[in-house]
Amino acid sequence: MTGWEYYAVVLLVDFGTFLIAAWGLNLEFGVAGVPNLAYIFLVAAGAYTYAITTLGPSSGNGGFQHYVIGAHLPYPVAILCAAAVSAVLGALVGITGLKRLRPDYQAMALLVVSITATTLVSAKTSLVNGSAGLALIPNPLHSIEPSKRGWAYVGMVFLICLLVFAVLRRFTDGPFGRLLRAMRDDEEAALAIGKNVVALRIAVQAVGGAMAGVSGALLAGFLGGWSPGAWLFIETMALLTAIIVGGIGNNWGVVLGTAIVPTLIVQGVQFLPDISSNPELIPQLGWIILGCLTIGFLFFRPAGVIPETGVRRRHRVIAEPAELAEQPADGAKNGASMSNWLIAPRGDADRRLADEREDILVVDDIHRDFGGVRAVDGATFSVQRGSITGLIGPNGAGKSTALGIVSGFVRAGRGTVRFDGADVTRAPNYRRARRGLVRTFQLSREFATLSTLENLVVAAPRARSESALGVLRGRRYWGAEEREITQRARRLLALFQMEDKAAERAGNLSGGQKRMLEVMRGVMTQPSLLLLDEPTAGLSPRLTQRLGDACLALREEGLSILLVEHELETVDRLCDTVIVMVQGKVFARGSMADLRTRKEVQEAYLVG
Amino acid sequence: MGIFVQTLGFGIAAGAVISLGAVGFTVQFGISNVLNITYGAFMTLAAFLGYVLLNRGLDVWVVLVAVGVVIAIASAVFNRVFLSPLRGRGAGFVNLIIGTVAAAIILQGVIVIAAGPSAVTYGQQYGKTVSGAGLVFSLAQLIIISITVALMFGLHLLLTRTKVGRAMRATSTNRTVARACGIRTERIIDLTWLLTGFLCGAAGVALAVTTVTFDFSIGSTFLIYMIAASVLGGIGQPYGAMIGGLVVGITSQLGAAYWSPAYQDVVAFCILIAMLLIRPRGLFVAAGVNRRNLSAT
């Protein structure tokens, strides 16, 4: 092999291994929004695992290097071990997301994890030979004669790249990618529609970790050595730069970024004329250019060279024209039959009939303080099945906090919340949503980078494509269900008269349209009780009317609604029962007409 | 017991430097709401500038002020031309932190090209020691401790007794409202960056003097100590950072003495990770110790 050939082999292996890692980090950071600055640590874990599972026992080499295990496993098994170990570590690192820290805190925590790992591994010699690192790591292709081994390695790496890509696409594109992007765009809203954000994130970090492990194993097998110097946290920055330059959230962008960043720049600077005698100039220049590229792109083109696939293109995939034609043409006009379709009865219909008289929501004596301020102070109320119940009261009466406690977004200081016959006081918010207790937010929270239709489709409960394993089984497994969900979403759009906005990026909708989307997304989860927090705030009279019509139509189908509202006209029109809250307590309860006649209510709220 | 008391002394000395840097970091965070990783690189720059100037035979006080002023201006410019415009373009928290990491990498690269990758040893030693109550301090350590105490006291007066200090706290709490109240927030922000940059520079020189031998990575390692101290004290809270600096300094020295010097950094790192996972708002917030200070949110 000539010098140039050897150089090409090194470049290509570098490219392939870097690409696998960059794809993995892009899945975590670009698609799912997890700022995993400890990613290079997972690559390293894969490299070390490969090394200590392929090397023979440590005692066999006469004290030349110290390490644990030394299992002498076959190479494919060792690479799988590397993937498994990094996947587990990736999931463990995912625990940093449990506390739901602000993303930059999370990034920093992970950065420190990476640095701590480097320090520990360097200091503890007996584990993987400390700062000197491991050498003589067997090449998986060592049985091939040396002259052909290099190109064979390139072939193997690229084959694995293809394999990885085939799997990766199922996570980054289609319904699972949509779910991850929703989580990235707004975590709270994802929880509110019943998505288990923590589990999703851990799953993503396990998948990304496995990819890091494969990348590390291939790198260590090629280089034959691996030491802490190879995985300083700055290497994660190189991966990030490739992603930012190429296009965050776009696998092809990452390919381009990988071609530009490590290959062109880190290698390219070696060919600069040696203008000074400073041996540090060239390697440092590589990092400096990398830093400048990152900053330049953050400033002038944060979406990268090839931005994430646009809403309209993704849209063509979910809304195939053929399916649209199948839709009954008169569907939009026939409101009643349509909503029949929207709120499918959940659970056992007979049981529903049996306890028809029991209230769907029973809130007993809930309390909540915020730093000495009593927001909710012993409120007790209930919501009848199939009714629209209004919750009114002056500003600061604790209505939104009460709603937060019921939905699980605010912890109750005391008291119980019973929903559909079960105590849910301690259930996490996303689980309540799955049971059918779903809230909307006072300030609309939309998944900004998804289309209106995607915002609805992603909210469908218990979809097959929602689990990592389900999505791996491919379109044949989840395709039919996805079509059904899409049709249901379209009917819902028709009910709210927003069909023309289906393909609009949700972030571009007007304030009023976002409010409507918020309510539609709640309905899409097929709730049995929908909690609406001031849904008409900021809506034009026409949209308010439309929203009210939709609420009434949904009630006809058995949906119960608890509505926090200031617009008494709306309350008058929609609500069967009205609860008045004052200073954290329930002050009065009755029909609106009844409440109007009561003097104390007038004094407390209606007049003042 | 002897070891313990002596370690305590080392811890207080180390903690003084950490506090100095951490207070700057935390006040800067309070006003900008950005985790500025470049802070560590500026500290490295300060350490090297201090090294050069001290080796020219300048007095340590002069060097401290001179380097402080240089870093102060550099920090304010950094905010004006980089961080503030980047945020203005709608960069989110993660992109901002990535931007500051990138800037740190660039600055560190320049430092390595200029000063070389190997460690330098600061020649002039303050060999004399002062002892009392079982504690032994070198003269350098005593100087650093007194500098820290003096600067902290000055900062305290500035924040609580002056109009500018009140304006800084107001801007830190809510920039828009502060502007609506007639505070010239742009100037207050510049001023805060100058002030915190000065603390960063002073801490860099102090660090160079106390560690004696250091290389280009000094700031980035030390940054984690400072962040740990800031998080411990509740980010954005200067008094919290002072106490946090002492706690981090003493525990890491104890870790070095009773476990292994190799793990000294690990102790600080673990404090930070644990705090972020368990109590990211800091130790003293709930106790209401720092009610009158800058708050992050």
Where exactly are the structural domains of chain A?
A: 3-230, 233-309, 321-342+451-505, 357-446+509-606
Q: What angle do CA B197, B201, B203 make, to 5 degrees?
A: 115
Other C-beta atoms lying within 10 Å of the C-beta of residue B52: 14
CB burial of residue A568 (10 Å; 0-12, 13-18, 19+): middle
Q: Which residue has the higher pLDDT, B281 or A512?
A: A512
Cβ-Cβ contacts under 8 Å, B112 against chain A: 280, 284
Instruction: Say how many Å lie between the first and final Cα of chain A, rounded.
Output: 90
From B102, B112, B116, residue closest to A295, measured CB to CB: B102
State whether residue A275 is helix, strand or coil: coil
Q: Which residue has the tokens 């190109």?
A: A151
- In this complex, do A240 and B98 lie within 8 Å of one another by their Cβ atoms? yes
Query: Is it the case that residue A357 has pLDDT exceeding 70?
Result: no
Q: Which of A494, A426, A99 is nearest to B279 (CA)?
A: A99
Query: Is it the case that residue A167 has pLDDT exceeding 50?
Result: yes
Percent of residues, chain A, with pLDDT higher than 90: 62
pLDDT-derived band at B170 (thresholds 50, 70, 90) equals confident
Strand partners, A392: A580
Per-residue pLDDT of B105-142, as tens digits, reads 999 999 999 988 888 887 655 556 777 766 777 777 88
- pTM to 2 decimal places: 0.91
Other C-beta atoms lying within 10 Å of the C-beta of residue B85: 12
Other C-beta atoms lying within 10 Å of the C-beta of residue B289: 17
Give residue A327's pLDDT: 46
pLDDT-derived band at B168 (thresholds 50, 70, 90) equals confident
Q: Are A22 and A39 in contact (CB under 8 A)?
A: no
Chain centre to alpha carbon of residue B98 = 20
Is 2.140.10.10 the CATH classification of the domain at A357-446+509-606? no
* B-interface mutation test, from A37, A269, A298, most B Cβ less than 10 A away: A298
The ipTM value here is 0.89
Q: Which residue has the tokens 């002069």?
A: B62
* B-interface mutation test, from A92, A294, A449, most B Cβ less than 10 A away: A294
CA distances from residue A596 to A222, A392, A494, A576, B4 in whole angstroms, order as listed: 81, 13, 36, 14, 74
Cβ-Cβ contacts under 8 Å, B94 against chain A: 29, 33, 35, 103-104, 107
Other C-beta atoms lying within 10 Å of the C-beta of residue A20: 28
- In this complex, do A96 and B276 lie within 8 Å of one another by their Cβ atoms? yes
Q: What angle do CA A499, A501, A507 make, to 5 degrees?
A: 145
SS (HEC) of A303-354? CCCCCCCCHHHHHHHHCCHHHHHHCCCCCCCCHHHHHHHHCCCCCCHHHHHH
CA torsion through residues B78, B84, B90, B95, sign: positive
Give residue B100's pLDDT: 96
Q: Which residue has the higher pLDDT, B13 or A89?
A: A89
Interface of B with A (CB under 8 A): 34-35, 37, 82, 85-86, 89, 91-99, 101-103, 105-106, 108-110, 112-113, 116-117, 224, 227, 260, 262-263, 265-266, 269-270, 272-273, 276-278, 280
